[in-house]
């Protein structure tokens, strides 16, 4: 059964350095995004311990430089052996895409300096942002990340869009770097304190009295891949454990791994209490100051011993915050059932003292199985308009714009993209009103994404190498008053929509030094007509020359053929051939093919016979492949032998019909 601490909102902070641990692997699996920063481009591998796969960061950022850490800092895991450093620019970002809008995600980043630059001078600090909201200041030396340990920061946030940017910001304390970046989806009902207005930054997440006093429980024991760090002090507490599984029931808002809940710390007797103390992160805190970070604590309990109620065994305790009773009725954990007591809202105090004390009726000391501690960060800063931001990113991707085009285009104001001006209306997202990409080395055509910037007033793309036509969609931008496209290689005509706006005075279009661009429709038509006439002027002479050459060649070949040997003989034999052909037409015999007629063209003659499907007698005697047709035609056409020869009956003149 879940119980909520209603009378007082509180948090505890342990007196140890939260988040300092040795290198661990963070690969990618089950929809997780796990990035090994600085890994070679397109490389990936599967971690032996977690079986999670993780990949290079080359597909998530286009800034920074890859490095390997010094050999003396290499750990057992591959993660942390390399990193990405960002010496240039104030803000450099990773973009994580294909997320579910409105879903909660756990975000984790790790940092191990490892003397990667050979200078042995780690940066003092730098900031992390989640989107346009501040996440945390990373103090490398404080966390021990300059001495071979890994600094880990983690947050739980609601992602408002289908992408999320994690940015490293240089605040003057040294060059930012990062070793790994992980994203884990959580159920919508998890951690109800994380909302669209606030996120939770982890201070610590502890597994009390684990069997392995140095090991961290995570995936696959925790399906959500949270890191549960070991926590135990034998000089203060005793420990109890069970080998039986501990279950969550009902509407489980946290789903603590059962391996975490199998162990717990207890005081050595019922008269002692479990005590924690901490100070606020605020340098000069004042109670109830709304600007101070608020804290959230989540305590996890499960009874691990089978108590004998008939013998009066009872474990029951109070929870006190700064000497105020936070759970006045007393709490009794259930046997092998995971229970949680947690803050519903953040509490703000200058200092904290929390104790878990046994009630007067309790015969057993208080118990604690696990604890999570967070502080709250606001996530109410508004990034660039949801239509403008993707359009600006598409423009960046199309032209490969570098400059400082990282993170959100307009927010924070001090980090707005170079060449962009934005409007900042109260309670509304910033809008892009001006883009100046003059002399930026742009290639390709004019991006259609400019037409999605509905608040755009000024667009300067002059002195680049833009080609293609001007999109008419630009005329649909209601606030656009100036377009400077001069000094490019644009072609075609100016769209009618833009011409209309130029004519009514609502738009100033500057288009000089585009040699292939038509400034109005009439000039384009005239140019087209001139091109058509030029084509005719060129084509007609060429065609005439081709006809003359063809005729000359034809005459040449005809004269050459007429000069073949025997041509005079053919001319002399024309009259006898006519008479003999007429005789052949009068011959009729049932075994002879009938001659239908003949055709004479000058010195050439052709004899026409009835078609006989079975061929000639000669073909049947000598075989169908006998090739005599060429000889016969030579005799007929060129007069190699006198035509009267063919008047003699010959086996090749005897035809065979289908009835034969």
Look at 128-137, 419-428, 520-529 and tell me which has the smallest mean pLDDT: 520-529
pLDDT exceeds 80 at position 146: no
Per-residue pLDDT of 267-284, as tens digits, reads 998 889 998 777 766 544
The total number of residues written for the chain in this structure: 660
pLDDT exceeds 50 at position 643: no
The 3-state secondary structure of 157-198 reads EECCCCCEEEEEECCCCCCCEECEEEEEECCCCCCCCCCCCE
Residues 6+ apart with CB under 8 A from 501: 475, 507
pLDDT exceeds 70 at position 496: yes
Give the pLDDT confidence score for residue 42 in this predicted structure. 87
Give the pLDDT confidence score for residue 536 in this predicted structure. 60
388-519 CATH pick, 3.20.20.70, 1.10.287.10, 3.80.10.10, 3.40.640.10:
3.80.10.10
Section 163-182 average pLDDT: 96
Residues 6+ apart with CB under 8 A from 53: 27, 28, 29, 34, 44, 45, 46, 47
Q: How confident is the model at residue 346 (pLDDT cuts 50, 70, 90)?
A: confident
Look at 315-324, 369-378, 389-398, 403-412 and tell me which has the smallest mean pLDDT: 315-324
Q: How confident is the model at residue 512 (pLDDT cuts 50, 70, 90)?
A: very high
Contact 94, 160 (CB under 8 A): no
Q: How far is residue 261's CA from residue 108's CA, in Å, rounded to a whole number?
A: 23
Give the pLDDT confidence score for residue 636 in this predicted structure. 42
Give the pLDDT confidence score for residue 568 in this predicted structure. 43
pLDDT exceeds 50 at position 113: yes
pLDDT exceeds 80 at position 21: no
Section 505-521 average pLDDT: 88
Section 167-173 average pLDDT: 96
Cβ atoms within 10 A of the Cβ of 38, count? 25
Look at 50-54, 268-272, 633-637, 653-657 and tell me which has the smallest mean pLDDT: 633-637
Q: How far is residue 206's CA from residue 208's CA, in Å, rounded to a whole number?
A: 6
Q: How far is residue 591's CA from residue 509's CA, in Å, rounded to a whole number?
A: 95
Per-residue pLDDT of 203-231, as tens digits, reads 999 999 999 888 899 999 999 999 999 99
Give the pLDDT confidence score for residue 620 in this predicted structure. 59
Q: How far is residue 381's CA from residue 411's CA, in Å, rounded to a whole number?
A: 9
Contact 333, 367 (CB under 8 A): yes
Q: Is the peptide bond between 412 and the residue preceding it cis, with omega within 30 degrees of 0?
A: yes
DSSP SS3 for 530: helix
Q: How confident is the model at residue 83 (pLDDT cuts 50, 70, 90)?
A: very high
Q: What is the mean pLDDT of the chain?
A: 82
Give the pLDDT confidence score for residue 438 in this predicted structure. 96
Q: How far is residue 370's CA from residue 300's CA, in Å, rounded to a whole number?
A: 5
Q: What is the DSSP letter of 461?
A: -
Look at residues 177, 165, 172, 153 and name the one whose alpha carbon lies nearest to residue 90.
172
Give the pLDDT confidence score for residue 521 in this predicted structure. 52
Per-residue pLDDT of 28-43, as tens digits, reads 457 799 999 999 998 9
The two tokens of residue 437 are: 């990409």
First to last CA, the chain: 110
pTM of the predicted protein model: 0.73
Q: How far is residue 133's CA from residue 93's CA, in Å, rounded to a whole number?
A: 13
Task: Report in angstroms the alpha-carbon separations of 7 from 12, 321, 362.
Answer: 16, 11, 22
Cβ atoms within 10 A of the Cβ of 593, count? 17
pLDDT exceeds 80 at position 135: yes
DSSP SS3 for 452: helix
Contact 396, 405 (CB under 8 A): yes
Give the pLDDT confidence score for residue 541 in this predicted structure. 73
CATH number of 3-378: 2.60.120.430
Look at 13-22, 63-72, 169-178, 592-601 and tell me which has the smallest mean pLDDT: 13-22
Give the pLDDT confidence score for residue 220 in this predicted structure. 95
Look at residues 574, 566, 620, 611 and name the one whose alpha carbon lies nearest to residue 593.
611
Per-residue pLDDT of 451-494, as tens digits, reads 999 999 999 999 999 999 999 999 999 999 999 999 999 999 99
Q: Is the peptide bond between 521 and the residue preceding it cis, with omega within 30 degrees of 0?
A: no
Q: How far is residue 150's CA from residue 212's CA, in Å, rounded to a whole number?
A: 20
* Strand bridging mode 482-484 / 458-460: parallel
Domains of the chain, by residue range, sit at: 3-378, 388-519, 568-647
317-326, 483-492, 573-582: which has the highest mean pLDDT? 483-492
Look at 202-216, 290-304, 619-633 and tell me which has the smallest mean pLDDT: 619-633
Q: How confident is the model at residue 533 (pLDDT cuts 50, 70, 90)?
A: low
568-647 CATH pick, 1.20.1630, 3.30.1370, 1.10.287, 3.30.200:
3.30.200
Contact 56, 42 (CB under 8 A): yes
pLDDT exceeds 90 at position 305: yes
pLDDT exceeds 90 at position 429: yes
pLDDT exceeds 50 at position 375: yes
pLDDT exceeds 60 at position 185: yes
- Better pLDDT: 540 or 575: 540
| Domain 3-378 and domain 388-519 have a common topology | no
């Amino acid at each position: 059964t879940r119980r909520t601490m209603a009378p007082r909102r509180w948090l505890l902070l342990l007196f140890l350095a939260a988040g300092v641990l040795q290198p661990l692997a963070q690969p990618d699996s089950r929809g997780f995004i796990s990035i090994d920063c600085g890994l070679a481009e397109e490389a990936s591998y599967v971690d032996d311990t977690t079986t999670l796969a993780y990949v290079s960061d080359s597909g998530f950022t286009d800034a920074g430089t890859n490095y390997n850490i010094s050999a003396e800092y290499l750990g057992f895991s591959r993660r942390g052996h390399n990193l990405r450093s960002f010496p240039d620019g104030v803000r450099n970002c990773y973009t994580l895409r294909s997320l579910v809008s409105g879903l909660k995600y756990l975000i984790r980043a790790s940092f191990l300096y490892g003397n990667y630059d050979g200078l042995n001078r780690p940066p003092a600090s730098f900031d992390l942002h989640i989107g346009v909201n501040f996440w945390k200041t990373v103090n490398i030396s404080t966390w021990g990340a300059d001495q071979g340990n890994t600094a880990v920061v983690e947050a739980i946030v609601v992602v408002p869009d289908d992408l999320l940017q994690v940015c490293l910001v240089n605040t003057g304390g040294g060059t930012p770097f990062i070793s790994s970046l992980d994203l884990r989806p959580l159920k919508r009902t998890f951690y109800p304190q994380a909302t669209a207005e606030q996120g939770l930054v982890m201070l610590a997440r502890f597994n009390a009295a684990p069997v392995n006093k140095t090991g961290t429980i995570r995936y696959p024991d925790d399906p959500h891949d949270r890191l549960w760090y070991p926590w135990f002090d034998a000089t203060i507490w005793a420990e109890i454990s069970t080998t039986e599984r501990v279950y969550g029931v009902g509407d489980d808002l946290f789903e603590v791994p059962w391996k975490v809940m199998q162990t717990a710390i207890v005081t050595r007797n019922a008269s002692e209490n479990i005590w924690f103390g901490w100070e606020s992160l605020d340098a000069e805190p004042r109670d109830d100051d709304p600007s101070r970070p608020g804290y959230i604590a989540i305590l996890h309990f499960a009874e691990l011993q089978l108590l004998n109620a008939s013998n009066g065994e009872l474990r029951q305790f109070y929870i006190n915050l700064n000497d105020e009773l936070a759970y006045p009725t007393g709490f009794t954990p259930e046997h092998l059932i995971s229970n949680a007591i947690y803050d519903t809202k953040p509490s703000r105090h200058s200092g904290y003292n929390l104790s878990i004390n046994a009630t007067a009726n309790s015969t057993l000391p208080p118990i604690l199985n696990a604890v999570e501690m967070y502080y709250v960060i606001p996530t109410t800063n508004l990034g660039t308009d949801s239509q403008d931001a993707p359009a600006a990113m598409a423009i960046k991707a199309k032209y490969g714009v570098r400059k400082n085009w990282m993170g959100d285009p307009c927010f924070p104001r001090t980090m707005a993209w170079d060449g962009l001006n934005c409007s900042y209306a109260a309670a509304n997202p910033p809008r892009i009103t001006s883009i100046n990409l003059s002399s930026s080395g742009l290639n390709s055509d004019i991006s259609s994404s400019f037409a999605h910037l509905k608040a755009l007033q000024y667009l300067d793309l002059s002195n680049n190498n833009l080609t293609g036509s001007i999109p008419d969609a630009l005329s649909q931008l209601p606030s656009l008053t100036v377009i400077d496209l001069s000094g490019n290689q644009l072609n075609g005509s100016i769209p009618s929509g833009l011409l209309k706006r130029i004519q009514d005075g609502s738009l100033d279009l500057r288009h000089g030094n585009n040699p292939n661009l038509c400034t109005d429709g009439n000039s384009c038509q005239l140019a087209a007509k001139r091109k058509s006439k030029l084509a005719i002027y060129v084509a007609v002479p060429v065609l005439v020359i081709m006809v003359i050459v063809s005729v000359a060649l034809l005459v040449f070949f005809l004269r050459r053929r007429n000069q073949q040997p025997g041509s005079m003989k053919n001319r002399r034999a024309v009259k006898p051939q006519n008479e003999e052909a007429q005789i052949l037409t009068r011959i009729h015999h049932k075994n002879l093919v009938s001659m239908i007629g003949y055709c004479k063209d000058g010195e050439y003659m052709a004899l026409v016979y009835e078609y006989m499907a079975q061929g000639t007698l000669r073909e049947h005697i000598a075989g169908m492949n006998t090739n005599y047709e060429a000889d016969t035609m030579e005799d007929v056409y060129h007069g190699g032998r006198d035509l009267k020869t063919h008047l003699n009956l010959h086996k090749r003149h005897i035809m065979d019909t289908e009835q034969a």
